[in-house]
Chains A and B, each alone.
Chain A
Amino acid sequence: MYVLRLVLKNALRHKLRTALTALGIVVAITAFGLLRTVIDAWYAGANASSSARLVTRNAVSLVFSLPLTYAQKIRQIDGVTAVSWANWFGGVYISERNFFPQFAIDPPTYLEIYPEFVLSPEEKKAFLTDRQGAIAGRKLAEQYGWKVGDQIPLRGTIFPGTWTFNLRGIYDGATRTTAESQMFFHWDLLNESLKKRFPRRADQAGVLIARLKDPDQAAAVSQAIDAMFKNSLAETLTETENAFQLGFVSMSEAILLAIQAVSFVVIVIIMAVMANTMAMTARERGAEYATLKALGFGGGFVSLLIFGESLLIALTGGLAGVALTFPVANGFREALGTFFPIFYVSDETVAMQLGAALVVGAVAAVFPAWRASRQRVVEGLRAIG
């Protein structure tokens, strides 16, 4: 026990220095946790996807659409229990700054395939019966202060003109990984308008979504779908929803890698600060360590004192940093609004933060501990501060 007391007393000898070092670690560990959470948020869409859903799109790229007739053909494939479709709308709400995803969907089938978008029965009915109706996620509605019954105008970028929708419902996510920042409206409304104005672009779906009876059949069914439309005017590319979402993530991979690298840089920076503190501390106490050795304590004991002090400071800072990460992440989420639909600190992040604090504490003590344990008693006693 007395070792612990000695370590604690040692740590508190230079209160200001210890406090500053711990503060540095708090900042670094919080920043590290925040950056990891940002990376997690990027992957959140893919993690929330279901393995029992396949997404079929035009093989050339998402810019090209698929004829709606494909939906019926996919429905007939063995193992497919339901088919729906959606078009990316890409409208602008008031100004370009207010970005959020909007999809034209076939409500009855889409809501059946995506049970994670939870609507009350009345809202669902109101949405289904109003062709100009739309639904929005809870977070999105809160951000712009929308209430059920509001009219929402969107300026089309892909589909020209101004489109006005009646908000008929606000959906909640079934789990905290469900994106509550999207808006959905009737595909029929879009299609009717296109039929009149741009007949060539009518009866087209951006993506087709198939629900599988059994997720294990994903590979077989996606091959069957792609084989069916091989050599047609619109060849398809079918993948699981997870792979489809990861495709988007990998497009920003360079940025993600940079953030990841930077999240480790902050740990290295704080390691330098911590190592500096420990080096100074050990240097100042050279005579003291020599005295301990002269009294009969071994080099191992001296190292233990230094390691103990370093780990104590690092872990105190680390724990405070973890605790601080949660409110900071909350503030971040509110500031960013719907940019990251899903943003929360995962258990894995917390574990990595504590691990990083431990590593910083241990690495910082290695060199001073080694030097102190090797130092000869006579030299140590001769040394002055």
Chain B
Amino acid sequence: MGIPFTYIVRNLFARRLTTALTAGGMALVVYVFATVLMLSAGLKATLVATGQDDNVLVIRRGSQTEVQSGIDRAQAGIVESLQDVALGQDGSPLVSKEPVVLINLPKRKSGKPSNVVIRGVTPRGLALRPQVHITEGRMFRPGTAEVVAGASIATGFRGAAPGETLRFASRDWTVVGVFDAGRTGFDSEIWGDAEQMMQAFRRTNFSALIFKLADGEHFDAVKQTIESDPRLTLEAKRETRFYADQSEALATFINYLGTTISIIFSIGAIIGAMITMYASVASRTAEIGTLRALGFSRAAILVAFLGESLLLGLLGGVLGLAGAAFMQTLSISTTNFQTFAEVAFRFVLTPGIAIVALLFSLGMGFVGGFLPAARAARLKIVDALRAA
């Protein structure tokens, strides 16, 4: 027969200060652990959502990012005329040929400069990205020095809000609107007219080509065609895959750093739990003797103390997770090592993260409570009763 659950709960309640301190320590560990997982999940979610599955992105072979890539007009023409490119309502291919560069802008709060992606798009480029829509002001007019800024750039950088002007490439560009791309990577970009950008930056090469597949299933064939054509030195990726790859390095870095820190921190919290549980066993020796004398088995004692420790862990876990849940209201903006450009993303709490964080806290409770519980279970009835 087991010791009643309420007995275990009351024991924790009887030592309020100790319980609060121990659970508080665990809560902080779980908070850090969950926050880090939420951060890398948020980054991945942002970049994966940036692409459309039916869109194909073409860049120069080996160039890794759009900014490093270059595609001349002749090569662009060949890709444009491929059979598998979807046609728009007017019968012309749905292809967007885009120059993509980085410009250095000061942050609105600190004034410190960071790199922002500036992309030249065409009306077709907008059609290829249906998730983008204007939330403030209007779209830029083709053929003018007007630009629109992504939501997080407009608020985060100086000169990027509607009505303000940005100066780069020897010209002043007026920001006429803000666009929302549904919390994707595009929210951290500035868009303007492709041909205007090409002239201003004195470029003859595009950076990337984006086209829609007529049939999404044909991707492998198209990739094969592009990459085996001796006239083309290009590589093709699904847009979703391309952006997911760009989150890889930073997400891995955050994950490694966060997991290492959490594991080191958890040692501290486990020790805290162990101290608490040893003290609990020591001060209740006579009580344990009484319980045994009443007929509770060693196993029941072990389960009771382990249960107490697990409950302590669970309490810490729930508190820590609750704290981490509040982080969802915040977003973070930093430079992605891979693209060398600013990217804004949110903390995202997924059910998976919640489960892992709670298991982590239960694990801390189990490891911290096992040795003390074993000691309690091993006590001899006579010795324990005499201790009082």
Contacts and interface: CB of A to CB of B under 8 A. Distances in A.
Interface in B309-361: 332-335, 340, 342
Interface string B11-35: 0000001100110110011011000
Given A27-B268, A157-B64, A273 B25 contact: yes
B275 interface: yes
Nearest to A273: B272
A276 B20 CA distance: 9
A63 B370 CA distance: 57
A295 interface: no
Nearest to A21: B275
A20 interface: yes
B112 A250 contact: yes
Interface string B252-293: 001001000100110111011011101100010000000000
A60 B268 contact: no
Contacts of B18: 276, 279-280
Contact of A273 (B21, B103, B201): B21
A16 to B, nearest CB: 6
Contacts of B275: 17, 20-21, 24, 273, 276-277, 280
B364 to A, nearest CB: 11
A230 to B, nearest CB: 10
Contact of A272 (B24, B64, B67, B233): B24
A149 interface: no
Contact of A269 (B29, B276, B279, B332): B29
Interface string B159-184: 00000000011100000000000000
Contact of A259 (B17, B257, B276): B257
Nearest to A364: B21
A60 B28 contact: no
Contacts of A35: 261
Given A254-B334, A385-B283, A60 B104 contact: yes
A160 B61 contact: yes
A268 interface: yes
A20 to B, nearest CB: 5
Nearest to B282: A14
A202 interface: no
B114 A251 contact: yes
A157 B24 contact: no
Contacts of A268: 28
B62 interface: yes
A97 to B, nearest CB: 10
A269 B115 contact: no
A64 to B, nearest CB: 7
Given A235-B170, A273-B268, A273-B275, A157 B112 contact: no
B63 interface: yes
Contacts of A24: 267-268, 271-272, 275
A21 B268 CA distance: 9
Contacts of B170: 231, 233, 235
B204 interface: yes
B3 to A, nearest CB: 22
B60 interface: yes
Contact of B103 (A61, A155, A255): A61
A60 B168 contact: yes
Interface string A16-29: 11001101100110
Given A21-B275, A35-B261, A279 B21 contact: yes
Contacts of B25: 269-270, 272-273, 276
Interface in A342-385: 385
Scoring B25, B29, B115 by chain A CB atoms within 10 A of each residue's CB, the highest score goes to: B25
B113 interface: yes
Interface in A136-177: 155-158, 160
27 contacts: A17-B279, A20-B271, A24-B268, A28-B268, A31-B264, A60-B201, A61-B102, A61-B104, A63-B115, A92-B62, A157-B63, A158-B68, A233-B202, A250-B110, A251-B114, A251-B334, A254-B333, A265-B28, A265-B32, A266-B268, A269-B272, A272-B22, A272-B24, A275-B21, A276-B17, A279-B18, A284-B283
Given A60-B169, A62-B104, A160-B62, 8 more contacts: A21-B275, A61-B104, A155-B62, A157-B62, A233-B170, A251-B334, A253-B112, A265-B28
Interface of B: 17-18, 21-22, 24-25, 28-29, 31-32, 60-64, 67-68, 101-104, 110, 112-115, 168-170, 201-202, 204, 233, 254, 257, 261, 264-265, 267-269, 271-272, 274-276, 278-279, 283, 332-335, 340, 342
Interface of A: 16-17, 20-21, 23-24, 27-28, 30-31, 35, 59-64, 90, 92, 96, 155-158, 160, 200, 231, 233, 235, 237, 247, 250-255, 259, 262, 265-266, 268-270, 272-273, 275-277, 279-280, 284, 385
